[in-house]
Amino acid sequence: MDFLIAVGSKICEYTVGPVAGQLGYIYHYKRNVDNVKSQIQLLEGEKARMQHSIEEARRNGEEIERAVEEWMNEVTGTIEKANDEFFKDEDYAMPLCSSKLFPNLVSRWRLSKTANSSAKTAGDEMERAKTLIQKVSYRVPPQSAAIEMTKGSYMIFQSRTPIFNTIMEALRNPDVKMIGVYGMGGVGKTMLAKEVARKAVDDDKLFKKAVIVTVSQTPALHKIQKEIADQLGLKFDDNEDNENVRAKRLRLQLGREEKMLLVIDDIWEKLELYEVGIAFGNDKNACKILLTSRSQDVVRDMDANLYFPLEDLLFDEAKDLFDKIVGDQSIKNPEIQALAIEIVKECASLPIAIETVASALKKKDYPTWSNALQELRRSTPTNIKGMKKNVYSSIKLSYDFLESDEAKSLLLICSLLPEDALIETDFLFKYVMGLPELFQGITNLEEARMKVLTLVDTLKASSLLLNVGSRKDRTIMHDVVRDVVILIGYEEHNMFCLRNIVELEDNKKLKVATAISLSNFEDDAYQLPKSLECPQLMSFHIWNLRFWRNRNIQIPNHFFEAMKELKVLHLTSVCLEPLPSSFEFLENLHTLVLNWCEIEDAA
């Protein structure tokens, strides 16, 4: 009997309980359906809040976490399924059976059971939302933005292909950790570096990412650190405002990076990388640095394994660049085409000058083009739209950054020479001897020669003077650099570079002149004024380079009477017959240079 009771109990346990549970779905039908509707409404509210967070993150340029996107998809499916099933099937569950006396119990049971399950699912999703909404998105390192600008817009120049390929090969060399590129302002160093980075990451897959940071002439560690951190996706905490703390965080992060190229652009002086936070740890992470600077000395001081000079474009390349910017419509005009050739020559194949002038002349008429050419020839390029902002300011920075006032003075002297003139060091040391106020401590020619060689090397290293082949005794000044330096000399030191004799006449500004250079005589009819009142003048130059056309440039007898402070006098192809009596007033003259001058009466 006890056995039968035990068996009966077990049967009831396994049948009555489940049956009661299933009947409960029918009995609690309305409660379960109302509950799921309430839960779905709450879930829709959570979804809306999550969507707001997602939209805000995307406006900030952030990527959405995968788990959040998956949650949104799952929740959307849950809501759609619930709305579809419950409202559709609820209508079906309400009608009576075929006898029209009882509700459809099977439909109610199924709908109630599904509602109960869906309500639980909705509750679980809302619990997940509480965690997910804490971190909806993450910051994407914007390294691709720094190099994307060159994609499709970088113009390949044949003359630069060798240096480009050499840099790419160096990046493959495991022994090369740092590469430098140097050249004058506006020559295209930044664009080259960005294209190297783009190709190394996107095309050749040498690196997983590239980070590009601009240092500029006044490096601010705080700004540099933030620029690098942003591209690495590293966010400094509010309490990490100290540069040393930030540097430590950066070093830790960079030590974990693998196959990264760091481009440090526009360095003006040695940058202590460790203080910034730049350290890649061991050699296994294959990270490298590419530097750009105007100064060869700087890339050398940075201990670059290899460094390369970037020079001007070839004329045909410069012309192609110019034509591409101004467009076919302008170039098809024969008159404008002739002007274009001369304008490109005046820009001396310097990319920044070409781009600036071409942009200013795009869709302009012939008179505008003609005026632009005259402005360039008059060494007044700042009158052309964009030239002062883009070209003048760029080269002026290089000048201002020269630490030596003597180097600045020598560069100003070089600008007094005619355009495209070969500048011989033997010629310059005569000026150094003649201007003791500017070049102090010089007692003999050998000291002057050594001083000049040192200063010329400084100016070459800063890309303000250029090499002439392999010769060390000659240098040359880029035409655009010369135009800018002439303007600096005029604005800051009252130095005048004049193109014809007419500019000497009735020019009241010359009374404060410290230097006058007169060249390229266009008309034989004009003669020098009888006298020139320049009480502060220290150097005077006449470059009669067209002596085969004009041999009649003669110095009037009283010409030098009001130049008593003159220390350097340089005359080329000038007639000194008879010798002007006003020479006797030049009591402070230290240097006299006479080239191809006619002198018959030297008594």
Q: Residue 4 — pLDDT band, cuts 50, 70, 90?
A: very low
Q: Say if residue 8 is exposed, middle or buried (CB neighbours under 10 Å; 0-12, 13-18, 19+).
A: exposed
Region of poorest pLDDT, from 83-87, 89-93, 198-202, 204-208 = 89-93
Residue 122: the pLDDT is 78
Alpha-carbon distances, residue 2 vs 8, 13, 15, 84, 195 (angstroms): 10, 16, 20, 53, 92
The size of the chain, in residues, is 603
What radius of gyration, in Å, describes the C-alpha atoms of the chain?
40
Residue 580 backbone dihedrals phi, psi, to 5 degrees: -60, 135
* Rounded Cα–Cα distance for residues 341 and 195 (Å): 28
- The residues near 321 (Cβ < 8 Å, ≥ 6 apart) are 155, 313, 351, 354, 355, 358
Pairing relation of β-strands 178-182 and 288-293? parallel
Residue 16: the pLDDT is 46
Q: Starting from the edge strand earliest in sequence, which strands make up the sheet with 178-182, in order?
A: 209-216, 260-267, 288-293, 178-182, 306-309
pLDDT(93) > 70: no
**pLDDT: which is higher, 469 or 417:** 417
pLDDT(418) > 80: yes
Residue 14: the pLDDT is 44
* Rounded Cα–Cα distance for residues 425 and 102 (Å): 116
E strands, 502-590, in order: 515-519, 539-543, 568-572
pLDDT(10) > 50: no
Q: What percent of the chain has pLDDT over 90?
A: 22
Residue type, 455: L
* 556, 580 contact by CB (below 8 A): yes
Q: What element of type H or E holds 44? A: helix 29-59
Q: Say if residue 53 is exposed, middle or buried (CB neighbours under 10 Å; 0-12, 13-18, 19+).
A: middle
Residue type, 110: R
Looking at residues 456-475, what average pLDDT do you find? 83
312: its two tokens: 């001007």
* 469, 485 contact by CB (below 8 A): no
Looking at residues 366-373, what average pLDDT do you find? 87
* Rounded Cα–Cα distance for residues 364 and 390 (Å): 20
Helix (H/G/I), strand (E/B), else coil: 96: strand
Residue 283: the pLDDT is 60
Q: What percent of the chain has pLDDT over 70?
A: 82
Looking at residues 162-179, what average pLDDT do you find? 93
Q: What element of type H or E holds 180? A: strand 178-182
**pLDDT: which is higher, 478 or 160:** 160
Which stretches of 362-502 are DSSP H helices? Answer: 366-377, 387, 393-400, 405-415, 425-434, 445-461, 479-493
| Residue-averaged pLDDT of the chain | 81
Q: Residue 95 — pLDDT band, cuts 50, 70, 90?
A: very low
Alpha-carbon distances, residue 269 vs 263, 303, 309, 382, 601 (angstroms): 16, 12, 17, 28, 55
**pLDDT: which is higher, 566 or 79:** 566
| pLDDT tens-digit readout, 565-574 | 999 999 988 8
* 223, 215 contact by CB (below 8 A): no
Q: Residue 551 — pLDDT band, cuts 50, 70, 90?
A: low
520: its two tokens: 């390229």
* Rounded Cα–Cα distance for residues 275 and 277 (Å): 5
Q: Residue 165 — pLDDT band, cuts 50, 70, 90?
A: very high
Which stretches of 217-286 are DSSP H helices? Answer: 221-232, 243-256, 273-276
Helix (H/G/I), strand (E/B), else coil: 261: strand
Residue 185: the pLDDT is 84
* 201, 231 contact by CB (below 8 A): no
Region of poorest pLDDT, from 4-18, 293-307, 357-371, 492-506 = 4-18
* 497, 486 contact by CB (below 8 A): yes
Looking at residues 481-507, what average pLDDT do you find? 86
Going 94 to 96 to 101 to 107, the CA torsion angle's sign is negative
Residue 412: the pLDDT is 95
* 430, 449 contact by CB (below 8 A): no
Residue 262: the pLDDT is 92
Beta pairing partners, 226 = none
* Rounded Cα–Cα distance for residues 556 and 404 (Å): 39
Residue 8: the pLDDT is 45
**pLDDT: which is higher, 426 or 97:** 426
Residue 24: the pLDDT is 55
CB count, 10 Å around CB of 458? 20
Q: Residue 351 — pLDDT band, cuts 50, 70, 90?
A: confident
* 505, 527 contact by CB (below 8 A): no
* Rounded Cα–Cα distance for residues 53 and 40 (Å): 20
Q: Residue 87 — pLDDT band, cuts 50, 70, 90?
A: low
